[in-house]
Amino acid sequence: MSKIKLVVPEAPAPAPDAATTSKQIDKDGVRLGVLDNTKGNADHLLAMIVAGLRAALPIASVVSLRKEVLCLPAAPAIIDRLVAEADFVVSAMAD
């Protein structure tokens, strides 16, 4: 009788980093970052999320950026811009 080896393709979840800094939210509202991962319909899903957030929260500004390649991480320049211009970022996958 032969043996079958099963491999679970899941990595253990990394431990969360402790917050080292905090951001002060401007009285005019939250600066929202949007990262489109380039999957089909992600732009539509993100537009609905932004509309819902605008209805629920005071949004001061929205910076919307798009990854260049679906299967690769966002370029460092995109991440740097989101860090500089957003208090929090929403990203989505869709099809």
Q: What's the rounded mean pLDDT across residues 16-45? A: 81
Q: Is the pLDDT of residue 24 over 80?
A: no
Q: What's the rounded mean pLDDT across residues 73-78? A: 93
- CA within 13 Å, CB half, 32: 20
Say what the pLDDT of residue 59 is.
93
Q: What percent of the chain has pLDDT over 90?
A: 46
Give the chain's mean pLDDT. 84
pTM reported for the whole predicted model = 0.69
DSSP characters for 22-64?
-PPPPTT-EEEEEEE---TTHHHHHHHHHHHHHHHS-EEEEEE
Point out which residues pair with 82 in neighbouring strands.
none
Q: What's the rounded mean pLDDT across residues 40-51? A: 91
